[in-house]
Amino acid sequence: MKNKIRTLLIAFICMAATLSSVPASVNPFETTTVEAATIEKNGLYHEGSNWNYYTDNAINKSSTLVKYNGSWWYVHDGEVDFNARTVVKFNGAWWFVENGKVDFSARTLCKYNGTWWYVKNGKVDFNYNGLCKYNGSWWYVRSGKVDFSARTLCKYNGTWWYVNGGRVDFNSTTVVRYGSTWYYVKGGQVHWNDTGLCKYNGNWWYIDNGRINFSDRTLVKYNGTWWFVENGKVNFNSGKTLCKYNGTWWYVRDGQVCWKNVSVSGDDFVTYNGYRYGCKNGQVDWNCKIEKSHVHKYNSGVVTKAPTCKDTGIKTYTCVNNDDSYTETIPALGHDPVQRTETVTTKEAYDEDVLEPRYICCGCGASFKTVIEVGRHLISAYHANYDTPCHSYYSDAVKVNTIHHPAETETRTYTVCSRCGERLK
pLDDT tens-digit readout, 357-382: 989 999 898 989 898 998 999 899 88
Q: What is the DSSP string of 26-49?
A: --TTS--PPPPPPPPP-EEEEETT
Q: Which of 10-19, 113-122, 130-139 is least confident?
A: 10-19
User: Which pLDDT does position 96 carry in this prediction?
Assistant: 94
Mapped onto helix, strand or coil, the DSSP state of residue 371 is helix
Q: Per-residue confidence at 424, pLDDT binned at 50, 70, 90?
A: confident
Give the CA dihedral 9, 10, 11, 14, nearest 10 degrees: 120
Across all residues in the chain, what is the average pLDDT?
A: 84
C-alpha to C-alpha distance for 320 and 306, rounded to whole angstroms: 23
C-alpha to C-alpha distance for 174 and 201, rounded to whole angstroms: 10
Instruction: Name the nearest CA neighbour of 172 among 180, 162, 181.
Output: 162
Q: Which amino acid is at 346?
A: T
Mapped onto helix, strand or coil, the DSSP state of residue 377 is helix
pLDDT tens-digit readout, 166-186: 999 999 899 999 999 999 999
Q: Per-residue confidence at 212, pLDDT binned at 50, 70, 90?
A: very high
The model's pTM is 0.53
C-beta of residue 259 within 8 angstroms of C-beta of residue 266: no
Kind of pairing, strands 350-361 and 367-368? antiparallel
C-beta of residue 274 within 8 angstroms of C-beta of residue 297: no
Contacts of 198 (CB under 8 A, 6+ apart): 173, 174, 175, 184, 204, 205, 207
Enumerate the β-bridge partners of residue 205: 198, 233
C-beta of residue 302 within 8 angstroms of C-beta of residue 316: yes
C-alpha to C-alpha distance for 262 and 281, rounded to whole angstroms: 9
Higher-pLDDT residue of 392 and 265 is: 392
